Structure 1
Amino acid sequence: MKKEIYHNTLKKGIKRMNAFKRLRDAYVIWHANSINIPEFDSSNIVRKKVIFSGRVQKVGFRLELFTMAQRLNLTGWVKNLEDGSVEAELQGEETKVELLITSMKSLKRASVKKCDVINIPLSENREDLTIVR
């Protein structure tokens, strides 16, 4: 009997958590789509590896970065690291990559304490932008 009560309570908690995640994700996507993106003069194509450290996991950081990068026509990937950081490789026009990095560093619901950016060789393959799970 106690085991059944425990399992029912656990299921309700999981349902609530999933509902919260859906609400958060909807807010993150809305927020990323509401940011005003300026007109850019064309610039050099670059590829950068970026590691964001601080409170950047469990706040919709990857989804925000992904949504903004799509709007900016960037390619690459983003993933959580075991140490609590978020790593991304971003390729596209330099001014757009820089705008994205600056936007992510100023995100209010996250707290980026450190941002390491490394220039890396361009990828010749046309790849989609992905969130690595």
Structure 2
Amino acid sequence: MFNFRRRSEQTEKAPAAPLPDDARRLHLRFVGQVQGVGFRWTSMGVARELSLTGWVRNERDGSVTAEIQGSAAHVGAFFSRMLEAYRRHPISYTVDEREDIPLVPDETEFEVRY
């Protein structure tokens, strides 16, 4: 059968899953070799594999800013998975800022922002 719903109805986001009891949200700033190497897309892939929500974007100063949210274990795993993702094609980067910030309870996905 054909689906005749309006395009806006077809692209509605799923409701947010309940946050785990140990949920946390981090604001991060990455510096170093983080632009032009697929860093945002790799971050998005890793975050989605871990069921994290949030966003990542390039900054004009050459850094990358991100906010990641999820269970404490998954947020912690994000960093080791990023290192693993770049093992074959090493890049040099550091986390310049890392701050716990308030949760965003209705967030449903991780996205690349522009």
Relative to the length of structure 2, the TM-score reads 0.72
Question: Is 1:102 equivalent to 2:84 in the alignment?
Answer: no
* Residue number in structure 2 paired with 1:35: none
Indicate the SS of the match to 1:102: helix
Amino-acid identity (%): 34
- Could you say what the CA RMSD is over the residues aligned between the two structures, in angstroms? 1.9
Aligned to 1:118: 99
User: Which 5+ residue runs of structure 2 have no aligned equivalent?
Assistant: 1-19
Q: Whose relative contact order is higher, 1 or 2, with alpha carbons under 8 Å and at least 6 apart?
A: 2
Contact 2:46 2:81 in 1 (8 A): no
Match of 1:76 in 2: 54
Q: Give CA deviations for 1:69-89 in whole Å, capped at 9, x if unaligned.
A: 000000000000111111100
Q: Distance in 1 between matches of 2:47 and 2:65?
A: 14
- The CA distance in 2 between the partners of 1:102 and 1:88, in whole Å, is 16
Equivalent position of 1:85 in the other structure = 63
What TM-score do the two structures reach when normalised by structure 1? 0.62
Shift of 1:51: 0.6
Q: In the TM superposition, what is the alpha-carbon distance from 1:104 to its structure 2 partner?
A: 2.8
Distance verdict in 2 for CA 1:118–1:105, change over 3 Å: farther
Query: Would the aligned equivalents of 1:57 and 1:84 in 2 still touch at CA under 8 Å?
Result: yes
Of the two, which has the highest radius of gyration? Answer: 1
Whether the aligned pair in 2 keeps the contact of 1:105 and 1:112 (CA below 8 Å) is no
* Deviations 1:20-68, CA, capped at 9 Å, x for gaps: xxxxxxxxxxxxxxxxxxxxxx871000001110010000101111001
Aligned residues of 1:61 and 1:110 also touching (Cα < 8 A): no
Distance 2:57 2:66 in 1: 6
Q: Give 1:53's match in structure 2, choosing from 31, 36, 41.
A: 31
Does the CA-based 8 Å contact 1:50-1:117 persist in structure 2? yes
Higher helix share: 1
Tell me if the contact between 2:33 and 2:91 (Cα under 8 Å) persists in the aligned partners. yes
